[in-house]
Structure 1
Amino acid sequence: MAEEQSLLSAFSGLPSRAVGRTAVLRAAINVLATALLVFGGASASFAQTKQITGTWHAKAIVNTGGITSENHWIKVEPLLGKNVQIEDVTVRLPSGLTCALGDPVAEVWKDNMMTFGSGGGTWAQLGLTSPDDRNYDVIRRELDCPEQGWPPLSIVTQSHNDIVLLGSIRVFAVLQKE
């Protein structure tokens, strides 16, 4: 009860006797909502969209190592040397196919994920950077492409560098801003 009263005072600035549980809950919700707006949520989505909007040139096709399905190569390799247009929530591929760009999802990739570790290699080979040489903080956005037979595609970025990858788990096009 003493902790609850202390919490009441911290949120309200009023003596603990003057504030009820409802006020504490309202204050806590307001603090959490403010934190989401400042540190994540809608603003993070806008910032991520703004960062990658524009024309991008596929300068290289890279493989994470291990066994790769031919389907992954067939869809990603033709991007090499061509431009990809990213506008707000759509991605237009050189083939003319337009895909919906999903919401950003923060993930931590490790070198033992998606074929790295067992067959050697590192996400650094694809241009990702890591503060500890093991964990790669990335933002992944799935693409929803209407064409049948496409492997799941994503755009992968890092907030602290200019790397933009477009691909599917094991095969990626490295995109460079035009």
Structure 2
Amino acid sequence: MEKWLSLVRLKLESVKLAEPVVAIRLLARQLRPLTADSGDLFSQKSPQVSVDELVAVIQAKLGDNKVKGVCLIDQHHPQLATQYSEGLAIENTIENTKGRAADQKTFEGRYKLRPSLMTAVAVPLKEHVSILHGPERIQTNWWHEHSIQRDYYIARSDKGRLCWVYRTPQKNWYLQGYFA
């Protein structure tokens, strides 16, 4: 009950009321599956805030339309493989391949070695890196609107960061993203 009261207070902080509040109605537009707390059964400590609770607090403070999720789409071009979704989308989505197990497996395999933080535009690689994995060639067909041919690598920078870098056929190196 305290958590609900806290969310209502946050939501009402930004609302200007012309008259006193007589009643409050709770409407759930989207329900998430119930998950068990990850706290220790024998510990007196309460578990940390869950992802759902944190999202609810942010939505109450900023508004539902300000919280976006990121979902994967089946696209070879790395900059086009993610898109924003309304609300917080935890599950990966596949355009036009729902229900086909082989396509699902291919899709999931393709995104296992992708960074969680992608740059909007690849930037020239300016730091020294050590290659850990690769190459993975990504090449689109000639008729594709955003034609690319790149060899991608997972690398570690001298500062210890895991990076996703690529090399062009002209032997130029670029930074595409970071693994979190």
For the aligned pair, the TM-score class normalised by the smaller chain equals under 0.3
Q: TM-score, normalised by structure 2?
A: 0.26
More relative contact order, 1 or 2 (CA 8 Å, 6+ apart)? 1
Q: TM-score, normalised by structure 1?
A: 0.27
Higher relative helix content? 1
